[in-house]
Structure 1
Amino acid sequence: MSEPVTEVQERSWVGVVAVWIAAVLAAVAIGVFVDEGAQFASLGIALAGSVLLTFAIQLAGGVTAGYLTRVAISVAGAVVVLVLCSVVIGIAALFAG
């Protein structure tokens, strides 16, 4: 028997959180491993990767109800995470020299 629609929709929000976690991991990796001159460009690449990951996860889920809302919230959350990381990187660059 098929699952109730609400359970499927609730599980589809896991993909939104997964993109946020991926954005945090990418931001930390960029802050730690990338040279200072290329960090901000790398954050842009991380955002592009977050958008692609969002589309891949949401399309693979196969849930059409609320698709645009989940994509918008997922990308907006990734933008917020990467903006906060860029602020931290900028402040760290001021104090580093």
Structure 2
Amino acid sequence: MSTPDLAPRHTYAGVVAVWVLAAVAGVLIGIFAPEQWRAQWVAVALGGCVIVSFAVQLWYGRSQAFIQRMALSSLGALVVLGVITIGFGLASLVSG
């Protein structure tokens, strides 16, 4: 049995930080990547977000709900990048 934390950290701040990282990466991909390479770069960004979410959740040092926080941060990054990718697709239809 372990002792409870006296001042537990806010564990969902790391989840939201990964979502913000995914949004920033998606916008940067939209600005700097050529149109034919955007899908590949979005996949790379998602992989980077998963690695960052592992690092952030391990940094917290709490084993309670680790899997749920990892799933939430990874799925959130997937949704954020998916919405941005849909925006890329709609923009290419309008401009093309």
Q: Does 1:57 align with 2:56?
A: yes
* AA aligned opposite 2:31: V
Equivalence for 2:15: 16
Report the alpha carbon displacement of residue 3 of structure 1 after superposing the two structures with TM: 4.1
Deviations 1:9-60 (A, max 9, x none): x512111010000000000101111110101110000100000000010011
Question: CA RMSD of the aligned region, Å?
Answer: 1.4
Number of residue-to-residue matches in the alignment? 93
3-state SS of 2:63 partner: coil
> Structure 1: how far apart are the matches of 2:5 and 2:62?
12
Equivalence for 2:72: 73
**Normalising by structure 2, what TM-score?**
0.90
* AA aligned opposite 2:54: F
**Normalising by structure 1, what TM-score?**
0.90
Equivalence for 1:28: 27
Q: Does 1:46 align with 2:45?
A: yes
> Structure 2: how far apart are the matches of 1:32 and 1:20?
19
* AA aligned opposite 2:57: Q
* AA aligned opposite 1:90: G
Consecutive unaligned residues of structure 2, counting only runs of 5 or more, are none
Consecutive unaligned residues of structure 1, counting only runs of 5 or more, are none
* Runs of 4+, deviation exceeding 4 Å: none
> Structure 2: how far apart are the matches of 1:74 and 1:80?
10
Identity percentage of aligned residues: 37
